[in-house]
Amino acid sequence: MLLIPCPWCGPRNEIEFHYGGQAEVSYPEDPDSVSDVDWAHFLFYRDNPKGVLAERWSHQAGCRRWFTLRRNTVTNEIHVDDDASQAGAVTR
Amino acid sequence: MSNEFRLAGGGRIDRGRPVRFRFDGRELQGYEGDTLASALLANGVHQVSTSIKFGRPRGITAAGPEEPNALVQVERPFPEPMLTATTVELRDGLEATGLPGQGRLATEPDPARYDAMHAHCEVLVVGAGPAGLAAALTAARSGARVILADADTEFGGSLLGADEQLDRAPAADWVARAVAELGSCEDVRMLSRTSVFGHYEDNYFVAVEHRGDAAHTRQRIWRIRARQVVLATGAHERPPVFAGNDRPGTMLAGSARTYLHRYGVLPGRRAVVFTTHDSAYAAAIDLHDAGVDIAAVVDVRDVAPAYWASLCVERGITIRAGATVVGTSGTDRITSVHLANVQSGGMMSVRQVVGCDLLLVSGGWNPAVHLHSQGRGALRYAEDVGALVPGGGGRGVRSAGAATGAFTTAECLRSGAEAGRDATRAAGYDAEIGPLPTAQNLPAPAGRTAWLLPSPADSAGATQFVDLARDVTVADIRKAIGAGMESVEHIKRYTTIGTAHDQGKTSGTNSTGIIAELLGRDFAAIGTTTFRAPYAPVAFAALAGRDRGDLYDPVRVTAMHDWHVEHSAPFENVGQWKRPWYYPLPGENMDTAVLRECHAVRSGVGMQDVSTLGKIDVQGPDAADFLDLVYTNKMSTLKLGRIRYGLMCTADGMVFDDGTVMRTGEQRYLISTTSGNAAGVLDWLEDWLQTEWTHLRVHLTSVTEHWATIALAGPRSREVLSRASDLDLDNESFPFMSWQDGIVAGRRARVCRISFSGELAFEINVPRWYGREVWEALYDVGEPFDITPYGTETMHVLRAEKGFPIVGQDTDGTVTPHDLGMSWVVSKKKADFLGKRSFSRADTTRADRKQLVGLLPHDDILVVPEGAQLVGTEALPAPPVPMLGHVTSSYRSAVLGKGFSLALLKGGRDRIGDTVYSPVGGRLVALEVTEPVFYDKEGARRDG
Amino acid sequence: MAEPYGDSPLTSRADLLDRHSVPGAVRISEIPFRAQIGLRMDPKGAAAERIGTAIGAMPPNLPGTAVRAGELLALWLGPDEWLLVGGEGAAESVQDTLATALAEDHGSVVDLSANRTILEVSGPKAREVLNKGCALDLHPRVFGADRCAQTLLARAGVILVCRDAEQPSFWLLVRSSFARYVADWLIDASAEYAS
Amino acid sequence: MTPRTPGAELPEHPDWLWHSPEPKQSYDVVIVGGGGHGLATAYYLAVNHGITNVAVLEGGWLAGGNMARNTTIIRSNYLWDESAGLYEHSLKLWEGLEEALDYPLLFSQRGVLNLAHSLQEVRDSVRRVEANKLNGVDAEWLDPAQVAEICPILNTAEDLRYPVLGATWQPRAGIAKHDHVAWGFARELDRMGVDLVQNCQVTGFERVGDRVVGVTTTRGTIRAGKVALAAAGQTSVLADELGLRLPIQSHPLQALVSELLEPVHPTVVMSNAVHVYVSQAHKGELVLGAGIDSYNSYGQRGAFHTIEREMTAAVELFPMFSRAHVLRTWAGVVDVTPDASAIMGLTPFDGLYVNCGWGTGGFKATPGVGWCYAHTIAHDEPHPLNAPFSLDRFTTGALVDEHGAAGVAH
Ligand SMILES: Cc1cc2nc3c(=O)[nH]c(=O)nc-3n(C[C@H](O)[C@H](O)[C@H](O)COP(=O)(O)OP(=O)(O)OC[C@H]3O[C@@H](n4cnc5c(N)ncnc54)[C@H](O)[C@@H]3O)c2cc1C
Ligand SMILES: NC(=O)c1ccc[n+]([C@@H]2O[C@H](COP(=O)([O-])OP(=O)(O)OC[C@H]3O[C@@H](n4cnc5c(N)ncnc54)[C@H](O)[C@@H]3O)[C@@H](O)[C@H]2O)c1
Ligand SMILES: Cc1cc2nc3c(=O)[nH]c(=O)nc-3n(C[C@H](O)[C@H](O)[C@H](O)COP(=O)(O)O)c2cc1C
Ligand SMILES: [Zn+2]
């Protein structure tokens, strides 16, 4: 049961959250001009590193806000940004 | 002959409270405070069961959860499989039998209750021996919140099973004082009988509290989140591995001490003590002083430890240094041990047989590093301990006491206090180590690690048991290595070593040592198998807790639920919701009830509870733009007061949800979702809004449960509603796909003209607390029209007759709006919307995609089962048979007078008019492919 | 005057809750029909000031807190989201006040009065009962009076408000369809104190 | 007390299994990953294609990945033709595998029940059964009474929160002893001269242009005519070395066992809706699993609430399990694809082949994978059975979506 730091509500148990996978995958500016291959990458391909991953979580059972955090996928250690204002910033 | 091995005094049992119990059919007696094992020993019973593979007699070897041998099945008060006699508390009426391998589950329902409790603390201390108590006291005195958990029935740990002095008084006195002080601290929670069995991320620990069969809650799972943790879990004594080491009567030396001091039991009359370690001498001395004849202390080391040797000499106890046990005799119980001298080269000389009924053994101690390791803490092989000790690396977790390889009480107290202080400080509290009790000045115990002991009679090791629980011997390890295995993990799996109930608590270190020795490698190079939760077995039911029966998952009900129950509706589970399925009248089955309900809606009027549909309030200057992005069709052009059907796709172009969109204000909409997907849609929309289209000023609010919603459907619905409402309901003033606010049955309501049945229909929304009242009022005013409540089944038939697909039933995540024949709902004008780009991928543009069509069986009375497959030929070829699609919805239609279906069919729209076939009940039936709309194709009926 | 109401989600459980409350340990009861208004707005915007003035106190900006504003209790639900709880029948006037104060600024005011009902759990064992299903640290130092949180109780989402830390008393705002489940769960979790 | 000896009825392992050779400098084929798939592939390369100058490189101990930690369910009743083709081929191979390997695999065709708990699950189940029959896969739809007959300890009461409305039944499905399978392959491979190199972690690739010609490892560089990836949950890490992105995500999947119990559970029961699956292994332990943990992880461990929820479902469905004990929990690292189907075939690099994405259900495919992957490697072209499982389906959109319809994952 990870203890996930919601930038708003503070640390809460993992079960209150919804995992959203890799962060910073943005919707193509103009999908129509994107090749089939690139579109497939947007839809289906996500980083899967063994190590630190910047990922999206939503505090589903709490404030319902999405946020980004960095977590080590081997140790589950969460790297909370020193800059608190950054933590609240949302990216896809 | 009861309790002939029980001393007249001493121990922590309550002699005033005798307890009767049965073991293997024998009526026996013990005392409150006994374990089943101590009571059996008091009655002279050593053999508890036979072994799993070889059927050899097996006895009690330990006094705690590390017991590998003494497995019992509890029969009463309630059957429970595979417990260790050493951890079963003696209770009046307890019945148990010895268990030779496999446990037995009860066939009757378990009457007990189980639950869970969350707890938080600054410092969690696991284990309440001297180290744990010292840690807890240090932390508690700082004012920090402390949880102290111990698996045992009493706090004190090893101190309860020894006769050590603290502050020149029995150690138990200090324990009592420590416990009293802790008990007086407001923020200290003391959990005895609580085994901490799992260590998870961020100091999340799970424990099981055994509250007893009589308690309201038999077992409770504690879910503990701790800032800092001290693991003071002690150590398990390690049995040496020698020929015949499994004979009942063979017991860990420290455990024998525990039986003596804690339970007032003499585990035998004449004992041989066999050791590689100093700690066994204390057992020899204590047992001697209690009246046991110590036939010899056999020490594999060339020189006996001076301090202990002198105590033995004082008592006339013979020490055989440089000797080893090479075999044992006895059938149900050990009768003698065979000794030999060991020369340094391993050569044997001078053999001797010594009669005894007890063989006490010690091969040193294994620190209980399980919880430390579960939390990814590193382990290090400590040469002097001959076992793994914590090697750092835990986050906010410290070990103390014997768990670190500290084996004197003084050291344990000090390391516990230090760990307690450091943990408390790390948790942000001021802590100092207070005065600690003075322990006796005993020499630090030392030992020699000896993995493989020589045994001329059994040089292969066939009777040298490493894992008693799994009957694994040195010979088995040799065989695994002989088969080519070198990894401890392979050898574990080949031999099953360490995989029993005890998870190798007494065998793990030995097996690594033996493997290392056989392979000629270092212990550290071989390492250990992985420590995994649970530390000790936990009952399934304890983990299931309160989430059972009706509480297994929330039952969600609407405002009208009780009315449906009163009108005998069976319910369909839709997600967590209960929805009325149909309303059978006396004598009706589902088919006849549904036909009647359908008929009522098509020819008169019906009413349905549709409160479960998801409803989301969408507000903001950019609400229209947002909806244009998430629906396939255009919503921004929707006029105030009007309603539009909408479809949502995921970005891969597959249908995700559908519903209606009402424009309720200049910048405000109310959208509906399918019942099962309401939360999913809201999350999905929030996701895009918050993380992608952050420039859009839109707020989403779920209002699903604010409203109760009643559908009135059928040609006479207008008449019914007009009798209960002030609204002008004719087609001009209240056209199809519009909404109005008005009064219905005396309550303010929002009425929509939408129809899922194709008939004239209204949906009436009132705040939930008026739901039942308005429902009943409509039912009453509808009475003259024979108003008929209908359930989800009828709703499905009616919508299928109209060819309206249900997301999730007529789609399966591989279906586009075009496949559904709903291109009309896919905007060609909008620059973009979710799913659009995917419609131009190679696979989504294929002409032979599966498309939604209707099917009419040639045989009028047939209703093809939902899920039936479709093929193109009149006769079935040999498999694999090419399949064309499948039936997604299928019902008997009251208006058609026959069965009909919806199906997804390859190139379906081009096949309209063709015949396809479906295997049904062993034959192939012919079906005509039709348009998916079966009824009122022109849509004339919706206006009444 | 408040309108007469129909059935609250727990009308049919009222007796049961009463019977299963354990004097001296835990009391569970429904507080039905309270006005509950959802408010969304930019807390830094001008509208926030106007709303603060209109209702008598600024809706709290500190996560997890509740503020009493006149007759209202304003619960922080998210960085731009609040739930205002008022007396029976107040929904309309509260909405009007908020909508007027919001004026043309981006924000939303939604009547959610029937969306949730309120369960009050009080008594010396209240915290313990709640902690059987709620993972939050409810120690008075951590979750004192006027703390609120959206979280889980067993398998249901709830808004938990500490009304009184000394004489422990909590509100659970529960969605209507889950109310019976939560009530049944509380009854089950309190049963041990009756024996 | 009659001594029961549940251990004794199990077959003894052979006295010889495999060597631990030093890796040679070069091989015709190097297989990365010594799990079931890697071993089976090497086996069929040798047996079907006569290629034996092969090394299987295993970073840790042989078959210590998901092969050592799966719940051993074998079935072929998948929905789509593509899946049914591959899994049924595999099941047929299972039926002759014990003999082929001359090793007791404890392959037990005790049948698998997939429960349906909602009307939609009933529809999906019937759909799958009908498709299975037409694909030549044995399958039946059973009503609750028939389910109870096959598995009497299952709670088929109507008042269950999510009652059992029926089940699909595949009689030829079952379980096998995972370790024995790996060791059976390994023994044959060792006999045929294939090098099984353990503690040999592949760290990168040797390339000439777009051709992969070898691997770098913790035991030196090894040249190879062809390199075949069979690294399950670790595949992304390897592919990253080549800048090759794959549509897989690695998640923890947990399992657990009880103590040894007298035989109570005659078959295999899987429930997707309440998320639990259970069988009783030969020694007598109940083996249970559930769904993946939500987030990516290479940690070989999961969260405890997953286990607690799984126990809730287990006790609801099998009230008798109430006082059984959890003895051990563990997790593997499973490679999950967007459509819950595997990826097997060619890559943009010459001489590099990929097999991954088996997620929570690749044990049953072990011999089938070996057969098809060996063909793909030997002929530089996919076998017809694995052609639909190419990487480019994600570009064209021709997914083999086993989520919605087939539901059950394992
Ligand atoms: C808990 C659990 C339950 C499951 N239940 C079932 C089930 O009931 N039925 C079913 O069909 N399937 C099941 N599965 C899935 C199944 O186990 C896997 O799909 C299958 O084992 C994967 O193939 P494999 O055996 O080759 O993988 P693995 O055994 O994981 O093999 C991959 C090997 O590659 C090695 N490796 C990785 N990287 C490198 C490198 N760089 N260099 C060298 N070696 C490397 C790894 O160490 C590993 O040994 C389950 C999985 C888990 C975790
Ligand atoms: N003479 C020797 O060689 C020798 C060897 C070992 C220990 N000892 C003595 O034993 C004592 C060790 O003190 P200590 O405090 O380190 O250990 P301890 O053995 O006194 O106490 C450990 C306590 O931890 C509990 N425990 C262990 N695992 C647990 C779990 N997972 N959950 C809940 N409870 C758990 C046990 O029930 C036990 O009460 C000292 O007095 C020491 O002298 C002596
Ligand atoms: C089918 C199966 C049955 C198992 N039975 C047992 C068992 O009876 N006892 C046991 O301790 N472990 C058992 N295990 C689990 C292994 O001990 C081990 O946990 C698993 O292989 C994962 O390895 P690891 O825990 O070393 O990482 C079993 C595993 C599987 C896959
Ligand atoms: Zn939050």
Residues B455-507 have pLDDT tens digits of 888 889 999 999 999 999 999 999 999 999 999 999 999 999 999 999 999 99
Report strand pairing: B747-752 vs B739-744: antiparallel
Q: Provide CB contacts within 8 A for B941, sequence distance 6+.
A: B715, B758, B759, B760
Which residues is B702 bridged to in the sheet?
A: B616
> D268-301, pLDDT tens digit by residue?
999 988 889 999 999 999 999 989 999 999 999 9
pLDDT tens by residue, C100-148: 999 999 999 999 999 999 999 999 999 999 999 999 999 999 999 999 9
Going edge to edge, which strands form the sheet with C148-153?
A: C27-31, C116-122, C169-175, C156-164, C148-153
Ligand 1 pocket residue status of D35, Cβ below 6 Å: yes
Q: Which chains touch D (3 or more CB pairs under 8 A)?
A: A, B
Whether ipTM > 0.95 holds is: yes
> From A58, which residue of chain B is nearest by alpha-carbon distance?
B687
Percent of chain B with pLDDT over 90: 97
Element (H, E) at B329: strand B323-330
Residues of C in contact with A15 (CB under 8 A): 135, 152
Q: Would you state the pLDDT for residue D275?
A: 87
Spacing, Cα A24 to ligand 4 middle (Å): 20
Dump pLDDT digits (tens) for B161-203: 999 999 999 999 999 999 999 999 999 999 999 999 999 999 9
- Give B58's contacts in chain D (Cβ within 8 Å): none
Does the pLDDT of residue B859 top 80, yes or no?
yes
Give the Å distance between the CA of D237 and the centre of ligand 1: 15
Ligand 1 contact, D113 CB (< 6 A) = no
Q: Which atom of ligand 1 is nearest to the CA of D217?
A: 42
pLDDT digits (tens, 9 = 90+) for D364-397: 999 999 999 999 999 999 999 999 999 999 999 9
pLDDT given for residue D407 in this prediction:
42
Residue B606's alpha-carbon distances to B482, B598, B726, B783, in angstroms, are 79, 8, 20, 11
With 50 as the cut, is the pLDDT of residue D2 above it?
no
* Contact across the interface for D305 and A1, Cβ inside 8 Å: yes
Range with the poorest average pLDDT among B237-246, B334-343, D340-349: B334-343
Q: What proportion of chain D, given as a percentage, has pLDDT over 90? A: 93
Question: Chain B residues with CB inside 8 Å of A30's CB?
Answer: 832
**Residue D71 pLDDT > 90, yes or no?**
yes
Question: Which of B78, B221, B813 lies at the smallest CB-CB distance from D403?
Answer: B813
pLDDT at D3: 40
Instruction: Spell out which residues of chain A touch residue C152, defining contact as CB-CB under 8 Å.
Output: 15-16, 61
Contact C79 A65 (CB under 8 A): yes
By most ligand atoms within 8 Å of CB, the mutation choice from B138, B407, B418, B503 for ligand 2 is B407
Q: Give the helix ranges, DSSP H, for B664-813.
A: 678-691, 717-722, 771-782, 792-801
| pLDDT of res. C2 | 42
Share of residues in chain C with pLDDT > 90 (%): 95
* Nearest-neighbour CA in chain C from B763: distance (Å): 18
- Ion ligand 4 residue ranges (Cβ < 5 Å): A 6, 8-9, 59, 62-63
Taking the CA of residue B215 and the nearest CA in chain C, the distance in Å comes to 9
Å from CA of D256 to ligand 3 middle? 8
Contact between C6 and B766 (Cβ < 8 Å): no
What residues of D are in contact with residue B110 (Cβ under 8 Å)?
319, 322-323
A32/B201 Cβ within 8 A: no
H or E, element range at B291: none
B552 and D6 within 8 Å at the Cβ level: the answer is: no
- pLDDT higher than threshold 50 for residue B1: no
Mark out the alpha helices in D154-275 (DSSP H runs).
178-192, 235-240
* pLDDT-derived band at B237, boundaries 50, 70, 90: very high
Rounded to the nearest integer, the mean pLDDT of chain D is 95
| Contacts for D345 with CB less than 8 Å, ≥ 6 apart | D353, D354, D376, D382, D386, D387, D389, D390, D391
Distance from CA of A22 to the nearest CA of C (A): 24
Q: Distance between CA atoms of D113 and B783, rounded to whole angstroms?
A: 48
Instruction: Please compute the mean of the pLDDT values over residues D166-193 and round it to a whole number.
Output: 98
Mean per-residue pLDDT for B625-648?
98
Q: Which of A8, A18, A85 to mutate to test the interface with C (most CBs of C within 10 A)?
A: A8
Task: Supply the residue whose CA is at minimum distance from atom 19 of ligand 1.
Answer: D362
Collapsing DSSP to helix, strand or coil, B549 comes out as helix
Whether the Cβ atoms of residue B119 and residue B147 lie closer than 8 Å to each other: yes
Chain B: touching chains (3 or more CB pairs < 8 Å): A, C, D
**Cα separation, D122 vs D125, whole angstroms:** 5
Q: What distance in angstroms lies between residue D389's CA and the mean position of ligand 1's atoms?
A: 18
B288 has a pLDDT exceeding 60: yes
**Mean predicted confidence (pLDDT) in B706-729:** 97
B714 phi and psi, to 5 degrees?
130, 160
H/E stretch holding A9 = none
Residue D169 Cβ contacting ligand 1 at under 6 Å: no
Residue B304, pLDDT > 60, answer: yes
**Under an 8 A CB cutoff, do A32 and B690 touch?**
no
pLDDT bucket at D39, cuts 50 / 70 / 90? very high
Ligand showing the shortest atom-to-Cα distance for residue D227: 1
User: pLDDT at position C195, please?
Assistant: 73
Q: Which residues of B touch C175 (CB under 8 A)?
A: 705
The predicted pLDDT at position C5 comes to: 84
C92 and B CB contact within 8 Å: no
Residues B760 and B751: their CA atoms lie apart, in Å, by: 13
- Which residue in B785, B764, B750, B770 sits closest to B711, CA to CA? B764
Q: Are the CB atoms for B857 and B865 separated by under 8 Å?
A: no
* Structure tokens belonging to residue B424: 């408390």
Mutate which of B124, B150, B255, B276 for ligand 2? The one with the most ligand atoms within 8 Å of its CB, which is B150
Cβ neighbours of D236 in A, within 8 Å: 48-50
- Is B619 close to C110, i.e. CB distance below 8 A? yes
Output the pLDDT for position D274. Answer: 84
* pLDDT at D408 (0 to 100): 39
Tens-digit pLDDT profile for residues B540-576: 999 999 999 999 999 999 999 999 999 999 999 999 9
Residue B578 and residue B568: Cα distance in Å, rounded?
A: 13
Nearest residue (CA) to ligand 2, atom 11: B158
Give the mean model confidence (pLDDT) for residues D257-271: 97
Best of D312, D400, D402 to disrupt the B interface (most B CBs within 10 Å) is D312
Chain mean pLDDT for chain A: 90
Do D316 and B548 make contact, defined as CB atoms within 8 angstroms?
yes
Tokens 């607690």 sit on residue: D308
For the segment B717-743, the average pLDDT, to the nearest whole number, is 97
Segment B325-384, tens digit of pLDDT = 999 999 899 999 999 998 766 667 778 999 999 999 999 999 999 999 999 999 999 999
CA A48 to chain B, closest CA, distance in angstroms equals: 20
pLDDT value of residue C44: 94
Q: What is the mean pLDDT of residues B899-904?
A: 98
* Nearest one of B99, B55, B471, B466 to D5, comparing CA atoms: B55
Q: Which residue of B has its CA nearest to D177?
A: B493
Structural contact between residues B445 and B434, judged by C-beta atoms closer than 8 angstroms: no
User: Which pLDDT score, from 0 to 100, does residue B264 have?
Assistant: 97
Residue B704 clears pLDDT 70, i.e. is over it:
yes
User: What residues of chain C, 164 to 193, have a C-beta less than 8 Å from chain A?
Assistant: none
Residue D330 Cβ inside 6 Å of ligand 3? The answer reads yes
Residues from chain A that touch C63, judged by Cβ atoms under 8 A, are: 8-10, 63
Q: Which of D66, D69, D334 to mutate to test the pocket of ligand 3 (most atoms within 8 A of CB)?
A: D69
**Res. B285: pLDDT tops 80:** yes
Predicted confidence band of residue A81 (pLDDT cuts 50, 70, 90) = low
| Contact between D394 and A45 using a beta-carbon 8 Å cutoff | yes
B532 lines ligand 3 (CB under 6 A): yes
Chain A residues near residue C64 by CB distance under 8 angstroms: 9-10
Check whether B251 has a pLDDT greater than 80: yes
User: CB–CB of D328 and B499 under 8 A?
Assistant: yes
Residue D105 has pLDDT above 50, yes or no: yes
- Report the distance separating Cα D259 and Cα D252, nearest Å: 23
CA–centroid distance, B233 to ligand 2, in Å, is 5
The DSSP code for C3 is P
The answer to whether the Cα torsion of B743, B747, B752, B758 is positive or negative is: negative
pLDDT at B346: 62
Q: Which pLDDT tens digit goes with each residue over B502-544?
A: 999 999 999 999 999 999 999 999 999 999 999 999 999 999 9
Cα of B624 to nearest chain D Cα, Å: 30
Of B115, B554, B702, the CB nearest to C178: B554
Q: Which ligand is nearest to the CA of D202?
A: 1
Tell how far the Cα of B685 is from the centroid of ligand 4, in angstroms. Answer: 17
Q: Which residues are registered as beta bridge partners of A6?
A: A10
The per-residue pLDDT for range B114-172, each reduced to its tens digit, is: 999 999 999 999 999 999 999 999 999 999 999 999 999 999 999 999 999 999 999 99
CB B869 within 8 A of CB D134: yes
The SS3 call for residue D113 is strand
